[in-house]
Copies of this chain bind each other. A is one copy, B any other.
Amino acid sequence: MDITVPEETDGDKAPPMVPLSHLREPPTTKRGARTRAALVKAARKVFERDGYLDTRLTDITKEAQCAAGSFYTYFANKEEMLAAVLLEAQEDMLHPGMARVEGAEDPYAVLEASNRAYLEAYKRNAKLMALLEQVAQVEPEFRTFRTRRADAFIRRNARGIADLQAQGVADREVDPMMASRALSGMVSVMAYHAFVLGEGQEDGEPVDFEELVSTVTRLWANALRFPGHR
C-alpha cells in the first residue's frame, strides 16, 4: 500500500518501534542464547494459539521446555516477552519489499503492487496481526505501538498521494493525510476481515485473494480519481 515516490526518505528508521526497549541484557553464553530463543519461539506459538490474555507464563515455559523461573532471566514480564516476539517478527511484518516506482511508471500498477504486497504480508502474519490487535486493546503500550506503526504507513502513503496530486493525477480536493488514513484503513480493515476473521468462520467463501487486491485497488484509484480508468 506504499505508493511513496522512491526518493522520499521516510522517518521509519526510528528505533525498533517496539515498546519496552528496556529489554534485559542479552545472554552471554551459548546456552543462554538457546534458552532465550526457545522462549521467544514458544511465546509466539502460545500467544498465537491462546491469545495474549489467556497465556500464562508457565504455558510459555512449558512449551519451551524450561523451568518457570528461567523466564525471568530474560524477560521482566509478559509484556516484554511480547515485545521480543514482535521485535523478531517486525522485519517481515513491517513493509514488504515495495517495488520502486520509477518516474514514468503507471501509478495504478504501482498502487496495485503495493496493495498486493501489503495484503500478502498481512496474510503471512495473520495470527500475529490478530494478536497485535488484541494486545492493542489491552495494553496501552502496545496500542501506541500499533498506532505508530499504522501512522508510518499512512504518512508514507499520504506523501504518495500528495505527489500524485502535484502531478495532477489525483483529486486535489482531499487532504492527502486524511485521504491516506481513510484508504489505508480501508485496506487494513479488509485484510483483518479476510485473514483474521475469515479463518475461524464457517462463512463459506473464504475471500478470493486476487479479487481482494483488485477491488481494493480499484476503489482506491477511483477514490482519488486516477485518470483514464478502465
Stretch at the interface among A32-40, A91-99, A121-129, A178-186: A178-186
The range of chain A's interface size is 35 or more
A109 to B179, CA, bound (A): 20
**Closest B residue to A222 using CB positions:** B223
Name the B residues within 8 Å of A222 (CB-CB). 171, 222-225
Instruction: Enumerate chain B residues within 8 angstroms of A23, measured Cβ to Cβ.
Output: none
Decide: A218 and B173 in contact? CB cutoff 8 A. yes
Dominant SS among interface residues on chain A: helix
Asked whether any CB of chain B lies closer than 8 Å to the CB of A165, the reply is no
Partner of A188, one of B53, B189, B190, B197: B189
Instruction: Please state if A53 and B138 are interface contacts (CB–CB under 8 Å).
Output: yes
Interface residue A158 (Cβ < 8 Å from any Cβ of B): no
Mask, A175-216, CB within 8 Å of B = 1, is 100110111011011100100010000000000000110011
Partner of A219, one of B147, B179, B193: B179
The 7 lowest CB-CB distance pairs between A and B, nearest first, are A185-B189, A186-B186, A223-B223, A219-B223, A134-B137, A137-B137, A222-B223
Q: Footprint of B on A, CB under 8 Å?
A: 51, 53, 133-134, 137-138, 147, 171, 173-175, 178-179, 181-183, 185-186, 188-190, 193, 197, 211-212, 215-216, 218-220, 222-225, 229-230
